[in-house]
Amino acid sequence: MAEVIKKATRESYGEALKELAAECEDLVVLDADLAEATKTVMFKKAYPERFFDCGIAEANMMGVAAGLAASGKIPFASSFAMFAAGRAFEIVRNSIGYPHLNVKIGATHAGISVGEDGATHQCNEDIALMRTIPGMTIINPADGVEAKAAVKAAAAYNGPVYLRFGRLATPIFNDEASYKFEIGKGITLKEGNDVTIIATGLMVNEAMQAAKQLEADGINARVINIHTIKPLDTEIVCKAAKETGLIITAEEHSVIGGLGSAVSEAVTQCCPVPVIKIGVNDEYGYSGPAVDLLKKFGLCADNIVSKTKEAVEKFKK
C-alpha cells in the first residue's frame, strides 16, 4: 500500500499563492503579522513588492483589502480564522460583503486542530459567521490538492470568498493530476444507498475511513465531500436525502451554523429526513495535541461509525 502523504492545507495555500502570482499580476497578499504561520511567507519571499504586512490590526487589514479590490487588485487577506472571521466580522460584512468586493480571505488555523494554543485560538464559529453574509462564498478544502485548486478557483472568481485552512498536516487523498474543482459543486466520493455521510474539510478523509468500516458491517454509506459550504450544492444534498433517507454530517466546526446546519436547512425544504450532526458541540475547546483533541471531540472515523450505526438502527430499521 502506498505511503500516505500528509500536508496542512495552509501549506498548499502558500504554494498556490506563489504559483498564481506569475499569471495573475493583480494578485496581492496581506497578512497581519502571521505570515510564517499562514504560509503567505512563501509569497512574501518571492514577491516582496506585492506583499503588505498590516501588523496586528485585522480590522484595518480587511478595510485595506476592500480598498485594493475597489481599485482593481485581487487581494488575499490572511490571518487566523478566529481573527479574520471573528474579530474583523463587521468589517468583512460592511466593507467587503455589502459592496461585494473582490476580496479573498485566507483564514488558517481553523477549528479545534489548532491544538496546544487552546480555546482562544480554536475557531469553531467562522463558517457560521461567514454564512450570514449575503454573497459570501465559503470554501473549506479537504486536503492539500483541493486547497490548491480552491485558491486558484477563488482567484479566478469575481466576488468575496472565505477560504478556510487548517494548521494540522492531514492525508492527501485526491490525485493532483486528475482532480477537478468547481466552486459550489459537491463531490460524491463513494456511492451507497443506506445512509449518506456529508463531510467537509479534514473530516472528509475520516468519513471515507468510516465508510470502509461500515461496509464491513453491512452498511453501505454514500460519502459526499462538500468543499463549498456556500453556495451549498443543494442538488447533491437533496438527491442524497431522497435516495438514502438518512444523513450524517461531519465537520470540524460548531454544530451550530456550519455544514450540518446548512444541510439541515436544505433538506427541510426539499426532502425532510433525519440529519445527525457530528461537530464541535456548544462548547469551547482546550489545549492538547491536535490529533488527540480531534478524537476527544469525536471528530474521527470511529465516532462517525458509531453515530452512523446508531442512526441506522434508530431510523432505518
Q: Are strands 247-254 and 195-199 parallel, antiparallel or unpaired?
A: parallel
CB 82 within 8 A of CB 38: no
Measured N-to-C along each axis, helices 234-244 and 259-270 cross at an angle, to the nearest 10 degrees, of 70
Q: Which CB, 21 or 110, lies closer to other proteins? A: 21
> Any long-range contacts for 263-269 (C-beta under 8 Å, 24+ apart)?
263/198, 263/226, 263/232, 263/237, 266/232, 266/234, 266/237, 266/238, 267/237, 267/238, 267/241
Q: Quote the strand ranges of the chain, DSSP E.
A: 6-7, 27-31, 51-53, 74-80, 104-108, 137-139, 161-164, 170-171, 187-190, 195-199, 221-225, 228-230, 247-254, 275-280
Q: How far is the CB of 21 from other proteins (least distance, A)?
A: 13
Q: How far is the CB of 102 from other proteins (least distance, A)?
A: 12
* DSSP 3-state of 301: helix
Pick the closest to residue 200 from 249, 145, 136, 133 (CA basis).
Answer: 249
Q: Which CB, 74 or 301, lies closer to other proteins? A: 74
Q: Which CB, 72 or 218, lies closer to other proteins? A: 72
Catalytic: which of 3, 15, 25, 58? 58
Q: Are strands 247-254 and 221-225 parallel, antiparallel or unpaired?
A: unpaired
CB 155 within 8 A of CB 23: no
Cell numbers at 78, concatenated: 490572511
Q: Which CB, 75 or 111, lies closer to other proteins? A: 75
Q: Which CB, 101 or 232, lies closer to other proteins? A: 101
d(CA 178, CA 174): 8
Q: How far is the CB of 51 from other proteins (least distance, A)?
A: 11
Examine the residue annotation and report whether 19 is marked as an active-site residue of this protein.
no
Q: How far is the CB of 41 from other proteins (least distance, A)?
A: 19
Q: How far is the CB of 67 from other proteins (least distance, A)?
A: 2
Q: Which CB, 99 or 272, lies closer to other proteins? A: 99
Q: How far is the CB of 65 from other proteins (least distance, A)?
A: 6
- Radius of gyration (C-alpha) of the chain in whole angstroms: 19
Q: How far is CA 157 from the centre of its chain?
A: 17
Pick the closest to residue 163 from 248, 100, 75, 34 (CA basis).
Answer: 75
Name the site residues for other proteins (rule: CB under 8 A): 28, 49-50, 52, 54-55, 57, 59-73, 75, 90-91, 94-95, 98-99
The residues that are catalytic are 58
